[in-house]
Amino acid sequence: MERRTIGAAALEVGAVGLGCMPMSWAYSGSRQRGDESLRTVHAALDRGATLLDTADMYGPFTNELLVGRVLKERRSEAFVSTKVGLLVGEQHIVANGRPGYVKRACDASLRRLQTDVIDLYQLHRADPEVPVEETWGAMAELVSAGKVRALGLCAVGARSGRRSGARLHDGTIRQLERVQQVFPVSAVEAELSVWSPEALEGLLPWCEARGVGFLGAMPLGNGFLTGTLTPGEGFEPDDVRARHPRFTAEMMAANQPIVVGLRRIAARHSAGGADVTPAQVALAWVLSRGRHVVPVPGTKRECWAAENAGAAGLRLTAEDLAEVAGLPSAQGSWD
């Protein structure tokens, strides 16, 4: 698989990564597929998708434990990215950016991941009660201590308050400017997909100009862009899509032209004998947004991890890219 470099520390990863979240969090059925999840991580590594993206809050904790079982056997082949700063409570999720907590959480992640170093340690969300420089300073000390190789920052979520008139990622860029004064940012993780291209407006150029890597979260539009979901199919209450404004029957139907467009492009590439899927077209589009961009499609299924890794070999033509640019904007938003 093509390799890409992340950040000033020039960390090398496969061009397509693996989002491990659906194995333990956010999607229904997550908890019943332990063995297949393990095979999924192996399948990704077998194909050169080295970047494994997890977080202590996924599960909570069980996702890191799962990744740790693979790392125990294949540490040298993997690049592990995990996150700190969000705690799962009985009723809701809270941020904790206190320096002492961050250091304890890192030690706990290292134990669960069965490794002595985390390749990329990301701040999941800044704690509104703690200046972000203090949290970042504690994370920088973890680099000095050799427990972490590089630092990353996750974008402020789409549901978080946006100042009127501001672009979606303006708040994240303000945070990035602050933490850069303390210690270099190696990577930013934010949603980027054919139906959620907002990061192209400010965040992606910010990263490119500073040599910061970009991890594309939710590159498959939570599964919608793969064309395998049917409008109105419904989601279990523990599935994030049960409350997502784009996953009502009405919005899924309204957004079908986007899937139809991806299918058309996939069919054109398949005409030569290759078996190209809409999911691969969606990932190839994210890859085409810059050499500093690494999509991290999430899955708990071995066959889909293999399919997604295969997108690294797909090159979209100028005609394909123009067609994607001409697709209608997605309907349904958190605003």
Ligand X SMILES: NC(=O)c1ccc[n+]([C@@H]2O[C@H](COP(=O)([O-])OP(=O)(O)OC[C@H]3O[C@@H](n4cnc5c(N)ncnc54)[C@H](OP(=O)(O)O)[C@@H]3O)[C@@H](O)[C@H]2O)c1
**Segment 309-328, which members bind ligand X (CB under 6 A)?**
none
Q: Is 16 in the site for ligand X (CB under 6 A)?
A: no
Q: What are phi and psi of 175, to 5 degrees?
A: -65, -40
Using the contact rule CB under 6 A, the part of the chain among 64-72, 267-275, 290-298, 319-327 near ligand X is 290-298
Q: Is 171 in the site for ligand X (CB under 6 A)?
A: no
Q: Which is nearer to ligand X, 59 or 297 (CB)?
A: 297
Q: Which is nearer to ligand X, 179 or 319 (CB)?
A: 179
- Nearest Cα to Cα of residue 79 among 71, 89, 87, 91: 71
Q: What are phi and psi of 84, to 5 degrees?
A: -135, 155
Considering the complex, what minimum distance in angstroms separates the CB of residue 259 from ligand X? 11
Is 27 a residue of the active site?
no
Q: Is 127 in the site for ligand X (CB under 6 A)?
A: no
Q: Which is nearer to ligand X, 109 or 222 (CB)?
A: 222
Q: Which of 67, 307, 310, 324 binds ligand X (CB under 6 A)?
A: 307
* DSSP state letters, 49-103: --EEE--TTTTTTHHHHHHHHHHHHHGGG-EEEEEESEEE-SS-EEE---HHHHH
Structure tokens at 191: 């949603």
- Nearest Cα to Cα of residue 142 among 189, 178, 174, 110: 110
**Segment 47-76, which members bind ligand X (CB under 6 A)?**
53
Q: Which is nearer to ligand X, 159 or 322 (CB)?
A: 159
Using the contact rule CB under 6 A, the part of the chain among 13-21, 104-112, 253-261, 325-333 near ligand X is 13-21
Enumerate residues 6+ apart whose C-beta is below 8 A from 289. Answer: 192, 200, 204, 214, 216
Known catalytic residues?
A: 58
